[in-house]
Homo-oligomer: A and B are copies of this chain.
Amino acid sequence: MNMPTPPAANTADCRGVSEILNRVGDKWTMQVVVVLRDRPRRFNDLKRQVAGISQQMLTRTLKTLERDGMVERTVCATTPPQVEYALSEFGHSLSEPVRQLAQWAAANLVTIHDNRLRYDTDR
């Protein structure tokens, strides 16, 4: 294949990262994943654990996670119906590298906020 661009940074790679970061970087996905990593939950249980989420957004978030194969949805045809959501193996495998990022976040969130404050006041 023709390689016109020699630079070290792999273009395909960084687009992949971007795609993943964009995928899991929405407002609720990781909060749901982190709760599910603990143990499986039912819909309203989950809704209670993720503070501030609407049913709409929880539904959408779960559906997208299920579509990507990260969450498994189990329906018990009882009355009233019970639906349980669990993190799949695949979902767990993602949550590992994300934990790394979580640690960085925990350690550096304050610094970021400081940097912003300084930048804004300096300006």
A94: chain B residues within 8 A (beta carbon): 104, 108
Q: For A22, give its contact among B16, B27, B93, B115 (CB under 8 Å).
A: B27
Are the C-beta atoms of B98 and A101 separated by less than 8 Å? Answer: yes
The interface residues of chain A, by DSSP majority, are classed as helix
- A11 and B34 alpha carbons, distance in the complex (Å): 9
A17 beta carbon closer than 8 Å to chain B: yes
1/0 per residue A1-31: CB within 8 Å of B?
1110101111101111111111111111111
1/0 per residue A30-71: CB within 8 Å of B?
110011011000000000010100000000000000111100
We find that the number of chain A residues with CB closer than 8 angstroms to chain B is 62
A106 beta carbon closer than 8 Å to chain B: yes
Are the C-beta atoms of A35 and B14 separated by less than 8 Å? Answer: yes
A38: chain B residues within 8 A (beta carbon): 5, 7-9
A28: chain B residues within 8 A (beta carbon): 18
